[in-house]
Amino acid sequence: MGSYTIPAVQDMSIRLTKAMRLGIVGESGSGKTTLALAIMGLLEKRASVNGSIRFAGTDLQQLSEKQRNPYRWSRIALVFQNSLDVLNPVLTVHEQIWECLVRHTTLARADAHETVVSLLESVGMAAEHGPYYPHQLSGGMRQRVLLAMALSCDPEVLILDEPTNALDAVTKTDIINRIARIQQEKQFGLIVISHELQTIARLTSRISVMYRGRIVEEGPTGTMLSLPLHPYTRGLVHASPDINPWRDMWGIPEESETSEFSESSEFSGNGGCPFVSRCCQKTDICQTRVPSLEPAAPERRVACNRGGIVTLLQGTGIHKHFGVNGTSVRACQDCCIRVRSGEAAVLIGESGSGKTTLANILSGILNPDRGDIRFNGEPVVRSRASRRKKGMQIIFQDPYSAINANLGVEQAIREPLDILGQDLPEHKTASVIRALQQVGLPVDDHFRRRKCHTLSGGQRQRIAIARALVMDPAILIADEISAMLDPSTQANILRLLKGLQNHHGFAMLYITHDLAVAQKIADWVYVMNHGKIVEQGDARQIFTNPAHPYTRKLVGQHFPEITRKTGDIPSSCVKNKPYVITRNPALAKAA
Amino acid sequence: MNAARISLAIILLVTAAGIFSQWVAVHPHNLPSGNALEAPSPNHWLGTDDLGIDLWAQICHGAGVSVLVGVSAALLAGIGGSLIGMLAGYLGGIADRITMRMTDMMIILPDLPTMIVLGAFFGPGLINIILVLALFSWTGTARIIRSRILSMKQEQYIAAAQSYGAGFVHLAKTHFIPGVLPIALASIIRLTGRAIVAEASLSFLGLGDPTSKSWGLILNHAINFKGIYFMDCWKWWIMSPLVAILILVGAFAILARENETSAVSAFQK
């Protein structure tokens, strides 16, 4: 086998000040552990480390192994990723920690025994556990032992590598709480490496997100998790049920097999943005240019050629009124709305609040009295944004009206392509077949020739979705598309849409009066009442801690149990009442 | 359904008789073939006129003229009216208002007197007759089609197609024409019957094409024959074109009604 090098960490800079709590997140294989080992100087000989690692002004890279030793453990300690072989199998727990103390501190051998006991207690273990051998301990206990060892020398920087990996919720919360408390007491610098966002959210104040050995985004923990700026960060947040427990989980789509960029070219560093093959907003420049970390918002930096997640659709100051019998009905008043690339924004409000009017204005079907609508920065005038591929598509509420019942299935789906007149007939048919497959309908000739009036409402709604999909939209406006469907069909269509969105990365503005549905799919929520957008925010915040009285009323009516709680971290609710599913009041009472 | 089939058969028979009149009638329609004012007999099925020309031959020949005038005037009015109605409904606004006021005007004008004036003004001739008839028949169709287009415009598939950048041509081709075809067809059939009657009336009054030998002209000729009621000859000379008109127009009326019924039930499906 030929030898080759893989850059596990590239061009990475982090800064840790005293008592700062930094989180490093990323999928497995993103180089998190390599970074930790490099800081500790523990990488094997065949790995080469370039750059400088400065600790209180000293460049650790310039030191010899011997000079470096005092820094390890006593000043920078690392809690290894939990596994059986991290601990010495022939030493007991007590002996391991004791050895660590004796070797790295000036403690007398006898005094060290007492310190071991107090260390064990501080991480939640009893002194009786001292004589145990590592293989006799559970995973949670081993994690505590590792933590005690790292804390033994009272380090100035503590690096935790996956501290809560594979632990149950109770142990996890206990360990997290202990680490947080000890950090508070001792004020050491903390680097938490994890792919568990819940752990990161509890332990850190800043986050760096790593992908393929590079930092793609960094910023304060709170805003990073509620409004990620890099598609990768957002993907991580969306894949974590701890952040928003109601939303369906969707992982970041895997790299497409058709990617022109082979592994080697990506690793050699000239293949453009490392995230390009999984990104939903890539452009030509992303194939060739490696983005650098640039400031994007206060205290936030993001490495993206497009400056982070772009705003696809922006409506500002939209006004619309209708004259009815001499009186004027103000359907939209100063509405501002923004949909970012790859995002599922949900517009909720009761019927008659002006949702559909706003949707029609945004999609260019209706002209606003006043206001500015921009799609990708260009003003939306009539069909300008919707009559092209990669544009904006709207799906209507009523499938019986949205599809001409006298058309055949293929004819109905192909209509936009026919109007566009760009593709060859066989390409059109291929697009139609692809769209039919995507929405889960038959693709045979017989079905494609069937008249739409022979189909059910759910099938017609799928046809309407397929018709939007053949245009390969960048944003989809879905106006109450499931309101007229039975619950099962509604569930199928919603999952279908979310799945398609996750796979193709288009943005979606979903308009509904159904809060339960909104909870399932929303990343960002707009609340509309009497033609005004009264509140907007990240979905978890709107549903747990609504600010506007109307939102509170709306959420309170739908989910009485949510507004009663004051805490805003749902995971803590889960911890306190692990067996009570409070969504159903009857069940809650029974429990 | 049977009534529609029978009336369609009658219409086709009359049309065929008109087209193949030379073979259907043994005698020529423009030369005397017997004595003047012969009563119906095996030789002359419907008798002869004052010049001894066979009436059966004249009726067969006139059938062609009547059907031609009726169908072409109805097609012209139906297609033109549909197009105008479609455009008025699609464009809306000022174009719609102008067309609708025009149809109002056409509706309050009494047809026949105006047709008489126009017929006299443009002079006799088959084409002129067709044009004048079409000019007075498009309004109804236009109004019906317009109202249908207005209701179709409320459908979201039109909004969707427009959002893909569809213009009038695409909308008409894909949505409007297939949507209005049944009602357009119904009104064309109804117009055909009316046009045949109108042509006969104009010809009867002497305003038709004097060389056309249509059924109205035979009537006109018969009525103008001095002393026609003194003899029995009115029984075949006047009655035969009259009955021919009645049969053909009746057939069209029944076909129109049956077609409308089936179109309505198709809509309700």
The residue among A404, A406, A414, A453 with the most chain B CBs within 10 A of its CB, best to mutate, is A404
Q: What is the 3-state secondary structure (H, E, C) of A43-93?
A: CCCCCCCCCCCEECCEEHHHCCHHHHCCCECCCEEEECCCCHHHCCCCCCH
Q: Which residues pair with A301 in a beta bridge?
A: A218, A295
Inter-chain contact A467–B155, Cβ cutoff 8 Å? no
Which of the given ranges, A36-40, A320-324, B140-144, has the highest pLDDT on average?
B140-144
How many whole angstroms separate alpha carbon A507 and alpha carbon A342? 4
How many whole angstroms separate alpha carbon A275 and alpha carbon A255? 9
Worst-scoring range by mean pLDDT, A101-105, A392-396, A462-466, B167-171?
A101-105
How many whole angstroms separate alpha carbon A321 and alpha carbon A333? 8
Which residues of chain A from 362 to 391 reach within 8 Å of chain B, CB to CB? 363-365, 383, 386-387
Counting residues of chain A whose pLDDT is more than 70, the rounded percentage is 91
How many whole angstroms separate alpha carbon A398 and alpha carbon A463? 12
* Closest CA of chain A from B165, distance in Å: 5
How many whole angstroms separate alpha carbon A285 and alpha carbon A305? 7
- Measure CB to CB from residue A365 to each of B155, B159, B269 and give the nearest one: B159
B52 φ, ψ (degrees, to nearest 5)? 80, 20
Q: Which amino acid is at B186?
A: A
- Measure CB to CB from residue A396 to each of B156, B170, B269 and give the nearest one: B156
* Closest CA of chain A from B102, distance in Å: 28
pLDDT digits (tens, 9 = 90+) for A121-134: 888 888 888 888 88
pLDDT at A267: 45
**Segments in chain B below pLDDT 70:** 1, 266-269
Inter-chain contact A419–B163, Cβ cutoff 8 Å? no
Q: Which residues pair with A478 in a beta bridge?
A: A395, A510
Residue A579 pLDDT exceeds 60: no
pLDDT at A255: 63
Q: Give, in order, the Cα–Cα distances in Å from A26 to each of A29, A267, A409.
A: 8, 17, 44
Copy the structure tokens of residue A517. 């549905």
pLDDT band at A562 (very low <50, low <70, confident <90, very high): low
Q: Which residues of B touch A407 (CB under 8 A)?
A: 174
Q: What is the 3-state secondary structure (H, E, C) of A365-418?
A: CCCCCEEEEEECCEECCCCCCCCCCCCEEEECCCHHHHCCCCCEHHHHHHHHHH
CA B179 to chain centre: 24
pLDDT at B72: 93
Closest CA to A347 of A248, A481, A466: A481
* Chain B: residues touching A (Cβ < 8 Å): 155-157, 159-166, 170, 174-175, 178-179, 269
pLDDT at A456: 87
* Closest CA of chain B from A345, distance in Å: 22
- Measure CB to CB from residue A383 to each of B162, B170, B269 and give the nearest one: B162
Looking at residues A529-541, what average pLDDT do you find?
87
The residue in chain B having the minimum alpha-carbon distance to the alpha carbon of residue A383 is B163
Q: Give, in order, the Cα–Cα distances in Å from A567 to each of A48, A184, A526, A540.
A: 47, 22, 22, 12
pLDDT digits (tens, 9 = 90+) for A344-391: 899 998 888 888 899 989 888 888 888 888 888 888 888 788 888 888
* Closest CA of chain A from B166, distance in Å: 6
User: What ipTM describes this predicted complex?
Assistant: 0.74
* Closest CA of chain B from A501, distance in Å: 21
B53 φ, ψ (degrees, to nearest 5)? -85, 140
pLDDT band at A573 (very low <50, low <70, confident <90, very high): very low
- Measure CB to CB from residue A402 to each of B160, B166, B174 and give the nearest one: B160
- Measure CB to CB from residue A415 to each of B155, B156, B161 and give the nearest one: B161
pLDDT digits (tens, 9 = 90+) for A470-502: 988 889 999 888 877 788 888 888 888 888 888
Q: Which residues of B touch A401 (CB under 8 A)?
A: 155-157
pLDDT at B75: 93
Inter-chain contact B165–A419, Cβ cutoff 8 Å? yes
Looking at residues A306-328, what average pLDDT do you find?
86
Domains of chain B, with CATH numbers? Answer: 2-32+45-268 (1.10.3720.10)
Return the axis-axis angle of helices B2-19 and B55-91, rounded to nearest 10°. Answer: 120
B150 φ, ψ (degrees, to nearest 5)? -60, -40
The residue in chain B having the minimum alpha-carbon distance to the alpha carbon of residue A391 is B164
How many whole angstroms separate alpha carbon A335 and alpha carbon A358? 8
Inter-chain contact A406–B178, Cβ cutoff 8 Å? yes
- Decide if A330 contacts A531 (C-beta within 8 A): yes
Q: Which residues of B touch A393 (CB under 8 A)?
A: 163
Inter-chain contact B164–A419, Cβ cutoff 8 Å? yes
Q: Which residues contact A553 (CB under 8 A, 6 or more apart)?
A: none
* Closest CA of chain B from A468, distance in Å: 9
The residue in chain A having the minimum alpha-carbon distance to the alpha carbon of residue B175 is A404
Closest CA to A320 of A282, A376, A359: A359
The residue among A357, A373, A414, A415 with the most chain B CBs within 10 A of its CB, best to mutate, is A415
Residue A559 pLDDT exceeds 50: yes
How many whole angstroms separate alpha carbon A230 and alpha carbon A314? 19
The residue in chain A having the minimum alpha-carbon distance to the alpha carbon of residue B165 is A387
Q: What is the mean pLDDT of chain A?
A: 82
A339 φ, ψ (degrees, to nearest 5)? -120, 125
Q: Report the SS3 class of residue A298.
A: coil
Looking at residues A429-438, what average pLDDT do you find?
89
Q: Report the SS3 class of residue A545.
A: coil
B187 φ, ψ (degrees, to nearest 5)? -75, -30
Q: 3-state DSSP helix/strand/coil percent for chain B, to nearest 5? A: 75, 0, 20
The residue in chain B having the minimum alpha-carbon distance to the alpha carbon of residue A366 is B159
- Decide if A176 contacts A118 (C-beta within 8 A): no
Inter-chain contact A402–B156, Cβ cutoff 8 Å? yes
The DSSP result for A146-176, as a single string, is HHHHHHHT--SEEEEESTTTT--HHHHHHHH
Q: Which residues of B touch A404 (CB under 8 A)?
A: 155, 157, 174-175, 179
pLDDT at A561: 64
- Measure CB to CB from residue B163 to each of A394, A401, A411 and give the nearest one: A394
Other beta carbons within 10 Å of A176? 20
The residue among B152, B157, B169 with the most chain A CBs within 10 A of its CB, best to mutate, is B157
- Decide if A570 contacts A245 (C-beta within 8 A): yes
On whether any CB of chain B is under 8 Å from the CB of A394, the answer is yes
Inter-chain contact B165–A453, Cβ cutoff 8 Å? no
Whole-model pTM? 0.76
Looking at residues A207-234, what average pLDDT do you find?
88
How many whole angstroms separate alpha carbon A588 and alpha carbon B193? 76
Inter-chain contact B164–A383, Cβ cutoff 8 Å? yes
Copy the structure tokens of residue A549. 């009285």
- Measure CB to CB from residue A420 to each of B156, B164, B269 and give the nearest one: B164
Q: Which residues of A touch B155 (CB under 8 A)?
A: 401, 404
On whether any CB of chain B is under 8 Å from the CB of A396, the answer is yes
pLDDT digits (tens, 9 = 90+) for A105-151: 887 888 888 888 888 888 888 888 888 888 888 888 888 888 888 88
Query: Would the CA dihedral through A280, A286, A291, A296 be positive or negative?
Result: negative
Q: Which amino acid is at A577?
A: K
Residue A33 pLDDT exceeds 90: no
pLDDT at B81: 93
Q: Which residues of A touch B171 (CB under 8 A)?
A: none
Looking at residues A246-256, what average pLDDT do you find?
73
Copy the structure tokens of residue B249. 């127009």
The residue in chain B having the minimum alpha-carbon distance to the alpha carbon of residue A411 is B174
pLDDT digits (tens, 9 = 90+) for A509-532: 999 888 888 888 888 899 998 888
| Helix (H) or strand (E) segment spanning residue A555 | helix A549-558
Q: Which residues of B touch A365 (CB under 8 A)?
A: 159, 162-163
* Closest CA of chain B from A81, distance in Å: 55
Inter-chain contact A387–B164, Cβ cutoff 8 Å? yes
Worst-scoring range by mean pLDDT, A67-71, A168-172, A474-478?
A67-71
pLDDT at A3: 62
Residue A96 pLDDT exceeds 80: yes
How many whole angstroms separate alpha carbon A537 and alpha carbon A227? 9
Q: Report the SS3 class of residue A322.
A: strand
pLDDT at B98: 93
* Closest CA of chain B from A572, distance in Å: 47
Tally A–B CB contacts below 8 A.
59
Residue A552 pLDDT exceeds 70: yes
Q: Give, in order, the Cα–Cα distances in Å from A183 to each of A55, A142, B267.
A: 19, 20, 76
Q: Which residues contact A512 (CB under 8 A, 6 or more apart)?
A: A346, A347, A348, A480, A482, A483, A518
